[in-house]
Amino acid sequence: MLDGLIERMLNGDKRATARLITLVENDEEKAREIISKIYPYTGNAYIVGITGPPGAGKSTLLDKLIRVAREEGKVVGVIAIDPTSPFTGGALLGDRIRMQRHSTDPGVFIRSMATRGSLGGLAKATSDAIKVLDAYGCDVIFVETVGVGQIEIDIVKTADTVVLVTVPGLGDDIQAIKAGLMEIADVFVINKADKEGADATYFELNLMLDLEKERWERRGWRPPIVETVATTMRGIRDLWKAIQEHREFLEGSGEIERKRKFRAEEEVKTIISGKIAKMISERLDEDEVSGLIERIVKREIDPYSAADLVLEKTLGVKV
């Protein structure tokens, strides 16, 4: 069944492609088989991450970026992520609403994904879904993260160019110099730039970049700040240009190789730790663990020593 689906996907069949994304999302065994079979066909797509707080206009901006990329004849993939409820396991995925005009364009593939318990702003199967769209033949893949706060930065491990979308009036200048999200942007966007406070936001971001001069001089890339009004197309072409300039920088400086090595390393580490966690939970002696938990509560043993005991027994090695 998988070989047939993969063949149809490589021939540009959207239904087979959609089915493969579902399989990499739902079924670990099949994901493994699919990825090893399609891996030789990947590596051609350029991956752009769009991140920022909820309501910043990420989906609307993306709708317009798709338009500009399509004018250049690029085949476009979109993975739009929204959160899964930690309480019910359900999700309401609504990013598509803003991009529906592109649904019937043969050169566009849009897929909504739910985080399903993942906390870094992406879905667990995002990187596998990217590989499917890459093999399908997308030239550029946009990944829209969930609305993020300060530390959901998994996108940096996934995208070639990270676009951070912010809006005027989110907070004072201290917000802009906090660690985390602000450090991962390759391009800054101030969307809704017709709103009051846009100039102040521009000034604050610019100041922050000035203070980090050393860091970006070392990298050789100072993140540009683009002002946009996504609803009216204002600034969208400048944004697309900035993304492309960043790509040229990455490719020209060899930085792209370093990025891709880092990404492969992170990916392999994630797979290894996932497998180890699974091995341990499969071999765990539940009775022994609950006995230990009783002892922890009674203060007879501390949590660290209890964990070591369990690990030594299940792995058979001294930890």
Cα(152)–Cα(51) distance, integer angstroms = 9
State the DSSP H helix or E strand holding residue 49, giving kind and residue range, or none if neither.
Answer: strand 46-51
Coil, strand, or helix at residue 167? Answer: coil
Can you read off the two tokens belonging to residue 194? 């017709």
**Region at 277 (left for phi over 0; alpha for psi -120 to 50; beta for the rest):** alpha
How far apart CA 33 and CA 2 sit, in angstroms, is 8
Q: How many residues bind other proteins (CB under 8 A)?
A: 29
Q: Does 244 bind other proteins (CB under 8 A)?
A: no
67 binds other proteins (CB under 8 A): no
- Cβ-based nearer residue to other proteins, 25 or 204: 25
Is residue 126 helix, strand or coil? Answer: helix
d(CA 302, CA 295): 8
Choose between 47 and 133: whose C-beta lies nearer to other proteins. Answer: 133
Nearest to 216 by CA among 173, 185, 248, 247: 185
Q: In angstroms, what is the minimal distance from the CB of 21 to other proteins?
A: 7
Q: Tell me the closest approach of the beta carbon of residue 94 to other proteins, in angstroms.
A: 5
Span of 11-19, 47-55, 150-158, 240-248 interacting with other proteins by CB under 8 A: 11-19
Work out whether 170 is an interface residue with other proteins (CB under 8 A).
no
Nearer to other proteins, 85 or 253 (CB): 85
Residue with Cβ nearer other proteins (40 or 90): 90
Closest CA to 296 of 308, 284, 285: 308
Which of these segments, 104-112, 158-166, 205-213, 234-242, binds other proteins (CB under 8 A)?
104-112
- Residue 93 vs 256, nearer CB to other proteins: 93
Q: Which residue lies nearer to other proteins by CB, 97 or 279?
A: 97
Query: Coil, strand or helix: which one is 204?
Result: helix
Site string for other proteins, 281-310 (x = CB under 8 A): ------------------------------
CA-to-CA distance for 119 and 40, rounded, in angstroms? 30
Report if residue 54 touches other proteins, rule: CB under 8 A.
no
What string marks each residue from 70 to 89 as x (binds other proteins by CB under 8 A) or -? --------------xx--xx
Q: How far apart are CA 165 and CA 57, in angstroms?
A: 8
The length of the chain, given as a count of residues: 319
At closest approach, how far in Å is the CB of 96 from other proteins? 5
If binding is defined by CB under 8 A, does position 11 make contact with other proteins? no
Task: Report residue 51: phi and psi, to 5°.
Answer: -135, 165
Q: Is 36 in the site for other proteins (CB under 8 A)?
A: no
Per-residue binding string, other proteins, 113-152, x by CB under 8 A, is -x-x------------------------------------
- One-letter amino acid for residue 253 of the chain: S
What span, in angstroms and rounded, lies between the C-alpha atoms of 155 and 102? 24
Q: What is the DSSP letter of 164?
A: E
Under the rule (CB under 8 A), what is the footprint of other proteins?
Answer: 1, 14-15, 18-19, 21-22, 26-27, 84-85, 88-94, 96-97, 100, 103-104, 109-112, 114, 116
